[in-house]
Amino acid sequence: MGVSGAGAIATQLSIADIVHAGQTRPLPSGTPILVVVTLYGGNDGLNTVIPHTDPIYKASRPGIYVPDSQLIPLDSELALNGTMTGFKTLWDAGDLAIVRGVGYPTPDLSHFTSMAIWQSASPDESQRTGWIGRWLDTQSHDPMQAIGLGSVLPPLLVGENEVGSVLPLGGLVIPSGTTSYDLHKLGSKDPSDGPLQAAAATAINDLLGLSKNLTPILKMPAPQPDNLPTQAGGSFGSDSSLSQQLDIVAKLIAAQAPTKVWAVSLGGFDTHADEVKGQSTLLGTVSSAITRFIGQMHGSNRQNDVIVLVHSEFGRRVAANGTQGTDHGTAGPVFVIGNGVDGGKFYGEEPSLSKLVDGNLAVTTDFRDIYATLIEDVLKVPAEQVIPGWKTKLPLLLV
């Protein structure tokens, strides 16, 4: 990851802080919230949004094409992978848009370089900061504005001056007694601290700053999805770490957290071999976890505020590689989901299977068009402040 390890250090905060902030300065209803879902490994877009009626599709992928019986047609040309029943429901409701052929000029087929490009929104030159990090730089300092779920800070949340925060997956246990008292003092900063020691002290301070109202909030059931029927295949995502991450996000949104950007992720998409079963299962997880999350937003009355972005670092090669998988590729579909999305339709051109570039799909949409849309229409900052020189957008949102 080219942008991880940039000089800035994450401002650490505790869930208690977030909950407390939700009580003292709740995010006003109507404030947009962006949830970024990153699929690590390079999701095979052609087996996600499938050109099922194009004969080249099946001919290119003997053994790993998705058969007609296992897909959900969206129109006469494209279909969703059959595990993505939840996404089909959202599509039918007009809440899910699919942007086709997304990538950037001169695709790089390295996982690390390409993910760094997506997270930094800077294909042309290596850039230490992430796109959400640079949005944070335009905001007044608030460690709760952007939060990543998991044990490691995602590079997209690193700005020049401001940095997002991380939250662990599980519930936190408050250390008790003497231990808690002594360690609390370890959390104070010392004049001799370098930046890393200071960050370690802050982490301890925030851990020990957990308040009594924290545990109940983490233990409470996640908001119930109240508007969607139970999905066939819904159990796919129930134990996945993506569902766990989104459950915590749903709880904290319900607790009125003053957070405008959440970052969650799922790995395992690097399907060089035995792709069919593995990728379909993952896609089922993505679809059911996000569909459930959207339902939870209805339950929390935030359905008009939340926009979900789903992307990966690249798509995969059009032709199967002969080991029942696919090698690294280029363009892929991006999903933008939410009540405020002008969905149930496609954006960007579908890359042609007969006009490949070195065996790869041609990029038809620059991902910065999507980012610029989200920056301006969701995060309410001129896109150029975050992606210098970038002006074009897509009409993805009902404004």
Partner 1 sequence: MNTANRLELSRLIHRFGFGPKPGEYAALLATGITTARTTVLTPPAVDAGAQAITPPTLTDLGDYPPQKSAALVDFQKARQDQILQTQLWWLDRMASADHGLQERMTWFWHGHWATALGKVQYALPMYNQNQLLRTTALGNFKDQARAMIVDSAMLFWLDGNSNTDKSPNENLAREFMELFTLGVGSYTENDVQTVAKALTGYRTVRSAGTVSFNPKQHYSQPITFLGTTGVFDAPAISDYITSLPANAQYIPHRMWYRFISSTSPLLDQSVYDAFANRDIHFLVTALASSNAMSNPLHSQVKAPVDWFVSVCRALQVTPSTLPINSNVIRYLVAMGQEPMNPPNVGGWPADEAWINISSAQTRLAFSQYILQKARFDSITAVAADDHRIDALADLLGVAQWSERTKSVLRTALNDPKQMVLIAINSPDYVVNA
Please pick, from the candidates 54, 142, 160, 327, the single residue that binds partner 1 as defined by CB under 8 A: 327
**Which residues, including other chains, have CB under 8 Å from residue 322's CB and lie 6 or more apart?**
none
Per CB under 8 A, contacts with partner 1 among 232-271 are 267, 270
Per CB under 8 A, contacts with partner 1 among 77-116 are 108-113
**Angle value at C-alpha 71, between 313 and 346, nearest 5 degrees:** 55
Q: Is residue 145 within 8 Å of 134, Cβ to Cβ? A: no
Q: Is residue 287 within 8 Å of 310, Cβ to Cβ? A: no
**Which residues, including other chains, have CB under 8 Å from residue 364's CB and lie 6 or more apart?**
100, 101, 102, 331, 348, 349, 350, 351
Q: DSSP assignment, residue 10?
A: P
Neighbours of 108 (CB within 10 A): 18
**Which residues, including other chains, have CB under 8 Å from residue 5's CB and lie 6 or more apart?**
none
- Interaction of residue 188 with partner 1, rule CB under 8 A: yes
Please report how close the Cβ of residue 112 comes to partner 1 at its closest, in angstroms: 6
- Interaction of residue 278 with partner 1, rule CB under 8 A: no
Per CB under 8 A, contacts with partner 1 among 25-64 are 40-41
- Interaction of residue 200 with partner 1, rule CB under 8 A: yes
Give whichever of 56 and 172 is closer to partner 1, judged by the CB atom. 172
Size of the site for partner 1 (CB under 8 A): 63
Give whichever of 76 and 106 is closer to partner 1, judged by the CB atom. 106
Residue 312 and residue 115: Cα distance in Å, rounded? 8
Residue 371 and residue 392: Cα distance in Å, rounded? 10
Please pick, from the candidates 56, 72, 183, 381, the single residue that binds partner 1 as defined by CB under 8 A: 183
Q: Report the candidate in 127, 146, 148 with the shortest Cα–Cα distance to residue 138.
A: 146
- Interaction of residue 162 with partner 1, rule CB under 8 A: no
> Which helix (DSSP H) or strand (DSSP E) does residue 97 occupy?
strand 96-103
- Interaction of residue 140 with partner 1, rule CB under 8 A: no
Please pick, from the candidates 4, 139, 215, 304, the single residue that binds partner 1 as defined by CB under 8 A: 4
Please pick, from the candidates 93, 204, 353, 362, the single residue that binds partner 1 as defined by CB under 8 A: 204
Please pick, from the candidates 56, 198, 228, 353, the single residue that binds partner 1 as defined by CB under 8 A: 198
3 state DSSP class of 111 = helix
Token pair 């760094």 in the structure block, residue: 116
- Interaction of residue 145 with partner 1, rule CB under 8 A: no
Please report how close the Cβ of residue 59 comes to partner 1 at its closest, in angstroms: 16
Both tokens of residue 19? 């909950």
Q: Where do contacts with partner 1 occur on this chain (CB under 8 A)? A: 1, 4-7, 9-10, 12-14, 40-41, 108-113, 151-153, 166-170, 172-173, 175, 178-179, 182-183, 185-186, 188-194, 196-201, 203-204, 206-207, 267, 270, 272-273, 321-323, 325, 327-328, 358
